[in-house]
Amino acid sequence: PREREDMEFQAETRQLLDIVTHSLYTDREVFLRELVSNASDALEKLRHSRAAGSGCHDDDDDYDGSNVGDGGSPLEIRIETDEASNTLTITDTGIGMTRTEMISNLGTIARSGSKAFVESMRVRGEAQRSGTDASGDVDPFGRGIIGKFGVGFYSGFMVADKVDVRSRSAIKRRKDDGNDDDDDRGAVLWESTGTGRYSLSTLDRNVRQDRGTSVVLHLKPDMAQYSDERTVEAILKKYSNFVGFPIYLNGNRVNTIEAIWLQDPKTVEESKHSDFYKYVSHMYDEPLSTLHFRMDAPLDIKALLYIPSFHQEKYGMGRMDPGVSLYSRKVLVEPKSPDILPEWCRFIKGVVDSEDLPLSISREKSQDSALVGKMRKALTRKIISHLSTMMRKDIEKYRDEFYKEYSFFLKEGVCQDFDSQQSLSKLLLFETSKGMAGELVSLDEYVSRCPPESKDIYYLCAPSRELALLSPYMEGFSKSKREVIFVYSAIDDFVMANLKTFEGRELVSADRSEVDLHPANDVDGDANKGKKDEKDDDTSSRKSLSTAEATEFCAWFQTTLSSKVSQCKTTKRLSSSPAVITDNESGALRRMMRMVETQEG
């Protein structure tokens, strides 16, 4: 066997090592995610190499190259905790590393052997086209491979003061003279304390070492929790539950749930959705609606989103947390991400997976937030279009199941998510003066029924439909046969005031002074704010005041109520009510103020 060899990390590697161990990751526990991802990558590479028939020797396996994954040691990840020696060991039966590969992949930080591998697969894939595809589940471009940044391995040093890597490569290499390259045979041990140096020793060839890699973390004294089985199990479940190879912790299988979001949406059965939904949402109902899609542009996204049949905010349980977690190639990047969807989407549960996301880089970095911003835009658009399709194709379901439960969230979106405001407003439904009680129409429907001369959208806020219909504000609209949207809550009122316009039409509150219903007639002109409690005792024998009388009456009114009104004037808008209060400010604002006052009082 070869002598033990001491090597030094390159200068940049030493510096980067310092960054990785001290500040790159905000959560220490992600070291396990990184090492498991590397193990998964190594297994994936083995699968690729076998499928491509690239000289796997696998002596012990009797492997004939035609049948991926059978014979010899199965493709799996084994994790062992040992509290007594305070170690954690991650073993895979993957492709392994030769001595040379250990030097270049582990001795050089920010050099990703995985990235190089994917690139070589791509080149080969291009050359062979259908070749590697033929094996079925092996993606010719190595998309199952997680690593590409070349820093993950070093995160082990966040928790360990010494790391040992034992590896035996599955690839047979020949020297130029045609003989096996002895350097690259047998198992190699790499050891480092992460402080600038590492050593390599070739293990005795007679010592049997299975194909693959074993990483032993000698945990720092204050990191002993990572040799505790329960802690390790929780971390594995959190980050690595969907890794595509079986993970065993001290002999027990940990990951049992399939990453169905990566499957072709058309092939996923209902029952799988039902199970997966329960897993991601921690709920026991069935999803009201499922949105499963993939896109390549503007960036790679695979998303599986569910709308639960109900939400929890109505039971006074407070604001829900976001419900969508961010993955990259099946590995958790951020649980319940607050950035991946706008806030109003917090009722949605599910996962978003993007190959374009770096696993390790912190969220604060601007390049990432730009990326996440792009994803948020694309996802929001998809969600809104999913809802409008539901509205178009199955209005009963949309109205009676979705809208009934979630209208509040859409309204919140209209008020807060400026980018989506207009498209969200198309999803709103309202009662109107024309329909029956309980009959709901969209703004588009309202507009389609407007007479051509009508340029605005009218709405009236009232405590109930009965009161809305009896309201003096309705008189002018009824007379001119204009449809008015009824809103019954301060929230709706606020939504209308926030929305301001819909498809170029102004949203006009019926109590606004300058409502123009009779372009030919003279109507209330200037803004006036009147308050009137005058009772007209003789409505039956109504006759108009002369202009002089009216002027005098208005003047009297204004002096009498000087502190309460800004102006008093005559109107032709009314037909049976004697007087009406109109407003020159936002009615919604005024009503909000009143609401605040009553709450305070």
Q: Which does residue 511 bind out of ligand ADP, Mg ion, none, counting CB within 5 to 8 angstroms by kind? A: none
User: Given the complex with ligand ADP, which of 49 and 513 has the nearer CB atom?
Assistant: 49
Q: Are strands 247-249 and 77-82 parallel, antiparallel or unpaired?
A: parallel
Q: Which does residue 331 bind out of ligand ADP, Mg ion, none, counting CB within 5 to 8 angstroms by kind? A: none
152 lines the binding site for ligand ADP (CB under 6 A) = yes
In the complex, least distance from residue 411 CB atom to Mg ion, rounded to whole angstroms: 44
Q: Contacting ligand ADP (CB under 6 A), which of 21, 81, 105, 471? A: 105
Q: Contacting ligand ADP (CB under 6 A), which of 30, 151, 187, 379? A: 151
* 339 has binding-site annotation: no
* 283 has binding-site annotation: no
Secondary structure of 375-442 in HEC code, one letter for each residue: HHHHHHHHHHHHHHHHHHHCHHHHHHHHHHHHHHHHHHHHHHCHHHHHHHHCCCCEEECCCCCCCCEC
In the complex, least distance from residue 152 CB atom to Mg ion, rounded to whole angstroms: 3
Of residues 565, 569, 562, 566, the one with CA closest to residue 547: 569
CA–CA dist 28, 42 (Å, integer): 23
Per the CB < 8 A criterion, the answer to whether 528 and 566 are in contact is yes
DSSP characters over 197-263: EEEEEEPPTTS---SEEEEEEEE-GGGGGGG-HHHHHHHHHHHHTT-SS-EEETTEE------GGGS
152 lines the binding site for Mg ion (CB under 5 A) = yes
DSSP characters over 465-531: HHHHHH-THHHHHHHTT---EEE-SHHHHHHHHHH-EETTEEEEETTBTT--S-TTS----S-----
User: Given the complex with ligand ADP, which of 106 and 121 has the nearer CB atom?
Assistant: 106
107 lines the binding site for ligand ADP (CB under 6 A) = no
CA–CA dist 477, 453 (Å, integer): 14
Q: Contacting ligand ADP (CB under 6 A), which of 48, 99, 148, 349? A: 148
Secondary structure of 525-548 in HEC code, one letter for each residue: CCCCCCCCCCCCCCCCCCCCCCHH
147 lines the binding site for Mg ion (CB under 5 A) = yes
| Residues 202-231: x where in contact with ligand ADP by CB under 6 A, - otherwise, as a string | -----------x------------------
Contacts of 590 (CB under 8 A, 6+ apart): 583
Q: Which does residue 40 bind out of Mg ion, ligand ADP, none, counting CB within 5 to 8 angstroms by kind? A: none
* 97 has binding-site annotation: yes
| Count of chain residues binding ligand ADP (CB under 6 A) | 24
User: Given the complex with ligand ADP, which of 30 and 414 has the nearer CB atom?
Assistant: 30
Give CA 304 to chain center in angstroms.
10
User: Given the complex with Mg ion, which of 30 and 303 has the nearer CB atom?
Assistant: 30
| Residues 108-137: x where in contact with ligand ADP by CB under 6 A, - otherwise, as a string | ----xxxx----------------------
Q: Which does residue 43 bind out of ligand ADP, Mg ion, none, counting CB within 5 to 8 angstroms by kind? A: none
In the complex, least distance from residue 401 CB atom to ligand ADP, rounded to whole angstroms: 44
**Contact range with ligand ADP by CB under 6 A, out of 149-157, 181-189, 350-358, 534-542:** 149-157
In the complex, least distance from residue 332 CB atom to Mg ion, rounded to whole angstroms: 14
User: CA 429, 432, 438, 439 torsion: positive or negative?
Assistant: negative
Per the CB < 8 A criterion, the answer to whether 590 and 513 are in contact is no
User: For residue 280, what are its two tokens?
Assistant: 């991601």
42 lines the binding site for ligand ADP (CB under 6 A) = yes
In the complex, least distance from residue 378 CB atom to ligand ADP, rounded to whole angstroms: 25
CA–CA dist 331, 259 (Å, integer): 10
Q: Which does residue 105 bind out of ligand ADP, Mg ion, none, counting CB within 5 to 8 angstroms by kind? A: ligand ADP
At 241, give phi and psi (nearest 5°): -65, -20
User: Given the complex with ligand ADP, which of 113 and 476 has the nearer CB atom?
Assistant: 113
Of residues 250, 257, 243, the one with CA closest to residue 90: 250
User: Given the complex with ligand ADP, which of 300 and 401 has the nearer CB atom?
Assistant: 300
User: CA 212, 218, 220, 222 torsion: positive or negative?
Assistant: positive
- Pick out residues in 271-330 that bind Mg ion (CB under 5 A): none
* 180 has binding-site annotation: no
In the complex, least distance from residue 158 CB atom to ligand ADP, rounded to whole angstroms: 13
Helices (H), 267-337: 270-281
| Residues 74-103: x where in contact with ligand ADP by CB under 6 A, - otherwise, as a string | ------------------x-xxxx------
Contacts of 422 (CB under 8 A, 6+ apart): 502, 503
Q: Which does residue 92 bind out of Mg ion, ligand ADP, none, counting CB within 5 to 8 angstroms by kind? A: ligand ADP
| Count of chain residues binding Mg ion (CB under 5 A) | 3
Tokens 């008189």 sit on residue: 475
144 lines the binding site for ligand ADP (CB under 6 A) = no
User: Given the complex with ligand ADP, which of 149 and 310 has the nearer CB atom?
Assistant: 149
Instruction: Tell how many helices (H) and how many strands (E) occur in the chain.
Output: 16, 19
Report DSSP state, residue 311. -
| Residues 28-67: x where in contact with Mg ion by CB under 5 A, - otherwise, as a string | ----------x-----------------------------
* 34 has binding-site annotation: yes
Neighbours of 121 (CB within 10 A): 22
SS3 148: coil
The packing angle between helices 587-600 and 490-499, to 10°, is: 140
40 lines the binding site for ligand ADP (CB under 6 A) = no
**Contact range with Mg ion by CB under 5 A, out of 141-149, 212-220, 390-398, 449-457:** 141-149
* 270 has binding-site annotation: no
User: Given the complex with Mg ion, which of 329 and 349 has the nearer CB atom?
Assistant: 329
471 lines the binding site for ligand ADP (CB under 6 A) = no
SS3 275: helix
* 213 has binding-site annotation: yes
User: For residue 344, what are its two tokens?
Assistant: 């109003």
Q: Which residues are annotated as a binding site?
A: 34, 38, 92, 97, 105, 112-113, 213, 363
For ligand ADP, the binding residues (CB under 6 A) are: 34, 38-39, 41-42, 92, 94-97, 105-106, 112-115, 147-153, 213
List contacts with Mg ion (CB under 5 A): 38, 147, 152
Annotated binding site for ATP: 34, 38, 92, 97, 105, 112-113, 213, 363
